[in-house]
Structure 1
Amino acid sequence: MKPFFPYSRRRFLATGAAALGVAPMAYLRAQSGSPNEEISIGLIGCGGMGTGNIKTFLNIEGVRVVAVSDVDKKAMSKVKKIVDEFYGNKDCKIYQNYTDLLQHPELDTICLATPDHWHARIGIDAANAGLDIYGEKPFTWGLKEGRQLIDVLKKNETVWQTGSWQRSKSNFRRFKALIENGTLGKITRMECGTPEGSNIRKYPNLAKPPATFDWDMYCGPAGKLEYNSQVHPWNWRWLHTFGGGQLLDWVGHHVDIAMWTLGLDKTGPVKVEGLGERGDSKIFDAYDKYAYQGTFEDGRVLEVRSDFMGTKFTGENGWIHTSRGALKASDREMLRNLPDDYESKVPSHQQDFINCVRDRKVPQSDAEGAHRAASFGQLAIVAMESGQPVNWDPKAEKVIGNDEQANYPRLGSRIDVCKG
């Protein structure tokens, strides 16, 4: 039987560190116990990705799911049932307000899987509570709030793993290794394909939210909005108030792979330009079709389109194209050109996060890389909405020479609108 403490060992150590004026995680490392110590995790956001992630964490040895939170009590109850059935008890706690979950005494980490507009606020609150975070992509809804979140993660020495899980899959890792090994020779073109369309689901028209659903809390950083029964639980992603459509959903996948491969995931483009087409929905405003590109400081251009899927690089020796479950080349022999130190097996994305929580190393998909991928998509949306290229300073993270673009909400921050 585990001894009783009012807080988990990690939380207790972090609290003691704060009292001494020491960085919490540095203190924790100095006082760390067994690497096999159980890691407890809570889920914030009980939708599709949250449910899928928590099922994975349930099956990782040394991890225990202790609590779940959602503004929708029905969704929250479904995930609690999954957790309780897995453990054969009824111990999983539920909290409709995420700030209550962050105070759960046994908690070490959270899985953050809310709609995009809540990522920054909850991420900041969780880091300040001494918790490590597995956070879904895109990193944040707005660009400035992404940098604010990174600053807080650094201050607290928080381990952050973004749900850009393709970085932990063999075909994407092989693609990166092949490119880095000079397989294509001089690279002449870099293309990314992410999905088109809006998979809008039809829900019953309701005049007010169900008693089990806290609409005002759901809106949170987006401000007070009139209830629309078509938004929750799926369609929020097609509304720019809450999400960014397929463009922003997938920039953290195939575009992320391209920037990671090219060594550009610590910077951003100096110019972004593009065009997008919206569908005929009277409610939703995400771009259904789009084509944009970013030019980087060294002159390289990364193209993104919605008419194919995956990441494709072309060079003087041919081309290599990777997508989910696929790795192809103009000449299959090129796929053998792996470096001698290539690691054929790595942990799953969620296991990598847990390993890094234990050893305090940097996960496969760190916060800076996730922010830079998201910012590429955020800048593209501004270019489409303004009808003009965005000239960008990736170091200062500021628009150059266009005050109107600089004041677009997508490049700003809404984390102080609602603090939970």
Structure 2
Amino acid sequence: MARSQVSRRQFLGASAAVAASTIAIPYFVPKSAFGAADKIVTGHIGVGGQGMSNLNGFIANAAAVCDVDKTRAAAAAKKVQDKGNDCEVYTDYRKMLERKDIDAIVISTPDHWHALATIHACQAGKDVYCEKPLTLTVTEGRKMVEAARANKRVVQTGSQQRSSKEFRQACELVRNGYIGKIHTVLVGLPKSNHPGEPVADSDPPAELDYDMWLGPAPARPYNKKRVHYNFRFFWDYSGGQMTNWGAHHIDIAQWGLGMDNSGPVEIEGTATFHPMKWHEVSETCKVTCTYANGVKMIVTQGDSSVPGGTTFIGDKGQVWVNRGRISSTIDGLLQTKLKDSDTKLYVSPGHHKDFLACVASRQNPICDVEIGHRSATVCHLANAATRLGKKLKWDPVTETVDDADAAKLLDRPYRAPWKLG
């Protein structure tokens, strides 16, 4: 298939790889799944950085872009138009959601906008591909799941490592006991890549609708080292490397442990922060998350002794996985062929293609909204534990924490007139 375009005529071929997974693919595609052009039509909210990467992945399907930065929006629209598609430009995504011909929305905004954009898109009858981390708070995640289910929407979290074969192989080996009984998982994260020494506040540039960029976040003066990619280093908008890379590697840990619908029950750890307070999020950390079965996941940031990625440790040996790489301390393990009786995990044809195939089939994608919410929740709990310097007890069934201060960090108020709903 050229790029990621899917039509009713192309669907069965495009989703062949998905058919080999644990979900069932119907033999027909309902007409209601597509726009007037006989293909899935996408609109894109946030088109800088990762947003442009996602636009490239859906370029054959794109019909509209939205960004609070007019320069970025214009560049994205030109990219779509250069591929031969018409492309309308928006600053307010709510206007884009009014279009009846758009079937799916791709959200690549800063984290503090993920929840509202996803919920509004679901309520407008659109399916959603939303970047990781799925949320800024735990409360947002549950609301997003509820919106997806109530409106019968397909929502894919942009945790694309789930669609790469090396991560699936590692998790299948772990889930089927090939490294023995799991007792520890190591997750290695990089140090903060913050933008350096602060600069003075200033007026926002003419091309940026700064009030809309803030959206539900607290009102603050414009500062160029807080916006665009730099949002990652401030609690108002994100959670640092814990929610950036942690959302990837902790997600794989959850997958390998079979905890996609659950999480740890106890979280404790320590962190270091910038001595001059150039940014707010952690520079380094070590967090231990304990699951009800006794397995411990140890998440470290900036620790050279822990390899980046995810390392599963069992009583027979270890398997380590990162992007494009997998290794094991057990000779020949990686050549293991799964038995017919073994657990087989979802086989994705590619993260963008999987989303489009599921929009057509109406099945849940490989990183459904519930999965994205649960993985992000672990990240938020880890940050809360290190910020407060407390051991937290978490109930993954009721999604409640035993500490009032931690509960406040897991659910934040929105700036008027924005409301979470």
Q: TM-score range by the shorter chain?
A: 0.7 to 0.9
Give how far 1:105 is off: 3.0
2:265 to 263, 270, 274: 270
Distance 1:134 1:273, change over 3 A: same
Task: Report the RMSD for the aligned CA atoms in angstroms.
Answer: 2.5
Give how far 1:363 is off: 0.5
Gaps of at least 5 residues in structure 1 are 1-8, 10-27
| Residues 186 and 299, structure 2, Cα contact 8 Å, conserved in 1 | yes
Aligned to 1:76: 73
1:106 equivalent in alignment to 2:101: yes
Name the CA distance, whole Å, in 1 between partners of 2:81 and 2:199: 31
Name the CA distance, whole Å, in 1 between partners of 2:165 and 2:130: 22
Aligned to 1:44: 45
| Residues 145 and 415, structure 1, Cα contact 8 Å, conserved in 2 | no
Aligned to 1:315: 314
| Residues 47 and 72, structure 2, Cα contact 8 Å, conserved in 1 | yes
| Residues 222 and 242, structure 1, Cα contact 8 Å, conserved in 2 | yes
Provide, for residues 346-386 of structure 1, a one-character-per-residue CA deviation record: whole Å limited to 9, x for no partner. 41100000000000011010111111111111011111111
| Residues 183 and 294, structure 2, Cα contact 8 Å, conserved in 1 | no
Distance 1:33 1:411, change over 3 A: closer
**Which is worse superposed, 72-81 or 341-350?**
341-350
Aligned to 2:369: 367
Aligned to 1:355: 357
Aligned to 1:14: none
Provide, for residues 150-191 of structure 1, a one-character-per-residue CA deviation record: whole Å limited to 9, x for no partner. 111110011011110000101101101111222111223211
1:182 to 173, 177, 185: 177
Name the CA distance, whole Å, in 2 between partners of 1:362 and 1:146: 16
Q: AA paired with 2:317?
A: G
Name the CA distance, whole Å, in 1 between partners of 2:197 and 2:29: 50
Distance 1:194 1:343, change over 3 A: same
Aligned to 1:414: 414
**Which is worse superposed, 270-279 or 127-136?**
270-279
- Between the aligned residues of both structures, percent identity stands at 35
Report the secondary structure of 1:234's partner residue: helix
Name the CA distance, whole Å, in 1 between partners of 2:103 and 2:314: 46
Report the secondary structure of 1:147's partner residue: helix
Aligned to 2:390: 388
Q: AA paired with 1:347?
A: P
| Residues 68 and 91, structure 2, Cα contact 8 Å, conserved in 1 | yes
Between structures 1 and 2, the one with greater helix share: 1
> What's the TM-score once normalised by structure 2's chain length?
0.86
Tell me which of the two structures has the higher relative contact order, counting C-alpha pairs closer than 8 angstroms and 6 or more residues apart. Answer: 2
Gaps of at least 5 residues in structure 2 are 1-7, 9-27
Aligned to 1:170: 165
Name the CA distance, whole Å, in 2 between partners of 1:214 and 1:202: 25
Aligned to 1:124: 119
**Which is worse superposed, 124-133 or 314-323?**
314-323
Aligned to 1:65: 62
Name the CA distance, whole Å, in 2 between partners of 1:325 and 1:368: 26
Report the secondary structure of 2:83's partner residue: helix
Distance 1:141 1:357, change over 3 A: same
> What's the TM-score once normalised by structure 1's chain length?
0.86
Q: AA paired with 2:83?
A: F
| Residues 43 and 112, structure 1, Cα contact 8 Å, conserved in 2 | yes
Q: How many residues align?
A: 386
Q: What does residue range 11-26 of structure 1 map to in structure 2 within 5 Å? A: none
Aligned to 2:338: 339
| Residues 266 and 289, structure 2, Cα contact 8 Å, conserved in 1 | yes
